[in-house]
Amino acid sequence: MNPRFLLALTPLLFTTVAHAVDCAHANDQSTMNLCSAEQYKAADKELNVLYQQITKRLKDSPDARKLLVSAQRSWVAFRDAECEFSSSGVAGGSMEGLIYNQCTTHLTKVRVETFKSYLKCEEGDMSCPVPSNS
């Protein structure tokens, strides 16, 4: 797990939440950091569900499955490096977790859309790496 993600969750370790956090009306840095971490967590969960669906469709294609694993590992490395760079302007500050999480959330949502498009390939579409589910 990324240390910046954990940094955003640190306030939870020291406080008891008496009520649900209202992310729509977050107005302090701690709450914004928490909410951004939750948004990333939700996007990452969706990505993982889609990744599992794709790997199941590739069960009869070990070479394609290996390429997917390699691509995903490379993508994760890119995402993390890009977001470290993106948040470097506020490194060490209270906004670092927020900026980092916003970046990882955005890039993860883009990857989610890519995975969704793989799962919608038409039968016979030779440009699609994931076989249809028929």
**What tokens were used for 47?**
């990505």
In a domain, 18, yes or no: no
* Other residues' Cβ atoms within 10 Å of the Cβ of residue 16: 5
CATH of the domain at 56: 1.20.1270.180
In a domain, 56, yes or no: yes
In a domain, 88, yes or no: yes
Structure confidence by residue, pLDDT tens digits, 4-58:
655 555 555 444 444 577 888 888 888 888 999 999 999 999 999 999 999 999 9
In a domain, 49, yes or no: yes
Q: If you count them, how many residues does the chain have?
A: 134
In a domain, 65, yes or no: yes
In a domain, 54, yes or no: yes
In a domain, 23, yes or no: no
Structure confidence by residue, pLDDT tens digits, 61-110:
999 999 999 999 999 999 999 999 999 999 999 999 999 999 999 999 99
Q: Determine the pLDDT at residue 22.
A: 87
What pTM does this model have? 0.81
In a domain, 90, yes or no: yes
Alpha-carbon distance 76 to 80, whole Å? 6
> For residue 75, what are the domain limits?
3-12+29-112
Q: How far is CA 109 from the centre of its chain?
A: 7
CB distance 108 to 40 below 8 Å: yes
Counting the structural domains of the chain, the total is: 1
